[in-house]
Amino acid sequence: MRNQRRVLLLVVALTISLFTMAQNSKELTLQHLMPGGRNYSSIVAKNIKQLQFAGDNYIYVSGNKIIYASLPDGKESTLITKQDIDLVLSEAKADTLKTIPQIFASEEGGAITIRFNHKGKAYKIDCQGKKILSEYTFVRGDKHAEYSAEADAYVTTVGNTLHLHSADGKRVKMVKDEGEDISLGSNYVHRNEFGIEKGIFWSPQGESVAFYRMDESRVKDYPLVNISARQAQLQSIKYPMAGMNSHTVKVGVYNIKKKKAVYLKSGKTDERYFTNISWSPKGDKLYILEVNRGQDTCNLVCYNAKNGAKESVLFTETSNKYTEPENPLLFISDTEFIYLSRKDGFRHAYLYNTNGEELKQLTSGEWEIIEAQLSADGKYLYMLTTEESPLQRTLYKLDIASGEKTRITPEEGVHKVQLSVSGKYYIDNYSSHNVPRVVKVGSLESGAEVKELLRAKNPFDKFDMPVVIESGTITAADGVTPLYYRMTRPLDVDSTQKLPAIVYVYGGPHAQQVTDAFMWNYRGWDIYMAQRGYVVFTLDNRGSANRGLEFESVTHRQLGVSELADQLKGVEYLKSLPYVDGERLGVHGWSFGGFMTLNMMLNNPGMFKAGVAGGAVTDWKYYEIMYGERYMGTPQNNPEGYKKADMNSLSGNLQDRLLLIHCDTDPVVVWQHTLRFLESSIDNGVYPDYFVYPGHGHNVVGPERVHLYEKITRYFDDFLK
């Protein structure tokens, strides 16, 4: 219970140090507190724009200048200005910039270069020489651009065609496949599960490109309707639902010099997921973590990159629940690599050789590696971990040979880091519950701070915010496991007051709501509601992220069961507080949180006076294959699990006020979920309220998000306050 005591002590510190000084006259509104609001930037802690390494030195953007700083002295100077860049572009008869765009810096032969996109082209500029080094041409529709410094070229995809964009401005077709259901190089393969973020993979030498080929012809078209045209237009997507046909994926390799593509000889591929593609250091082999459709078996397979031949299966990893590889291999030499796995229950690092032999487990303990990166020389593994607390992210350096582990970031909180090219320095951007933001440069060799670049002021100090945000733990429904919560409430409360309380819930895999980031990873709407006299409570139940496989997988084949039991423990705690009115409880969530909102209300009629379910999964058989089948199996092999999690069948239990919100072009939790719930409600003679946001996807973004949360606020004001 060490963590519980420490967190509760932090609650006291936060209550005293943060909010007793936030007593100014300016009121916070949803325009301040919601992304997309007119004044949202005023509550975001100050940051340094586009801070990044260029070699072992760093640059950032300040107004119309790019600033360069040398290390270790940190001496700053102007590297290049927007006016300088405009002059260079004008000489090439290109349009000038409105502002400095997103840039990518590097050091090449002592010169600092920047790359950026601008009006259908990409440019690489020598900042000291003030000249264009490379010019790459794109056309409308080019997507998923991947750059190789070794080849000094981009590869892009347009549907079923890959193109090579060379430094001389040429755009050349690499591979074309026939069929409107074929896509090459898409970053949406396997619907972005298994850590997949891209579909194009350059070899280390820039001589070849691996790419995904996705065939969706077996997946039925799913209708979405665009109403922005005078006559509404059908814009169908491919949406493979649990238990139905999925897309088929192959991996191809294109050799730049030979101008030829080969496909890996993987056999029948329609019931497999091809994840975490890794090149060997020499660029002659590809390693792929292949997962079966049931997701209980993962094979690490080696292929010959020249002819596509399958060379070996290095090892097989199985689970009685699921395997979920999310990280490519990290090669420390031609014959040894680091593999991240949860096979002992937590995500840890293992050293293997290319014969598939496990040489040793490098890390262990009841904590997780969140991110990992090798040093340039392959001697050290740098890791962001939860070793100090599930709420924190701390940087460690692991000596691979000796096993010695050194903590690099001494401060508590959530750290986000960049490493310099040689691994000599790191940039740290961190916050904690009472630290808005600190940005610094440190030494990876000694761990010492080299230079503090920014210590942001609390952006809420200029507002009247009589609110407390605190964190602590309760015990899960299993009677053993500590669960972390965040609670946002009015500053001055006593036992004579009885305030309405709202549970804001997510509760699903791959998400953690409560962390030791600024103000416990606060939500703007929670602050807004606390100003209006509400208590808002969020609990990370079992099944949520970054607490190990056992904690997460307790929900396997029974989504909603353990989550509900834990959330009810949170409600029990809320009702025990002397200032909470247990007769005026509400619940709100989106996506998985929308499912949980329905789950909590329909399995406990009368407990909540009002609820708002946004983008809710109402029946898991309408959800996508990859995520849905990992946690629930298929409707065919787990009918009881699907039946228990079917909120449509429980709609007749509705006794309280319920607002359903959905976006009509949601490609993740399709609109059909809410429409089916409404249909079931009609059949059962119950009367939920309903609101739709036209033209939005899985959530409401932009200025309309203020409208969304004003709508939700009004609903709770009407039926809870």
DSSP, collapsed to helix, strand or coil, labels residue 62 as strand
Query: Rounded CA gap, 399 and 279, in Å?
Result: 23
Cβ neighbors of 296 (< 8 A, separation 6 or more) are 318, 319, 320, 321, 322, 323
Buried b (16+ CB within 10 A) or exposed e, 34-71: bebbeebeebebeebebbbbbbebbbbbeeebbbbbeb
Query: Rounded CA gap, 128 and 141, in Å?
Result: 33
- Are 483 and 542 contacting, i.e. CB atoms less than 8 angstroms apart? yes
First vs last Cα of the chain: how many Å apart?
Answer: 36
Sign of the Cα pseudo-torsion (151, 157, 162, 165, in order): negative
Nearest to 607 by CA among 599, 617, 616, 615: 599
Nearest to 699 by CA among 592, 563, 608, 540: 592
Question: Hey, which residues are catalytic here?
Answer: 591, 666, 698
**Measured in whole angstroms, how far is the alpha carbon of residue 129 from the centre of its chain?**
39
Joined tokens for residue 189: 């393969």
CA distances from 227 to 178, 672, 702 (A): 31, 17, 18
Joined tokens for residue 401: 């040979």
Strands (E), 224-307: 225-226, 233-234, 237-238, 248-255, 260-263, 272-279, 285-292, 297-304
Q: At what angle are helices 704-719 and 524-531 packed, to 10 degrees?
A: 40
Q: Could you give the count of Cα atoms lying within 13 Å of 529 in the half-sphere of its Cβ?
A: 33
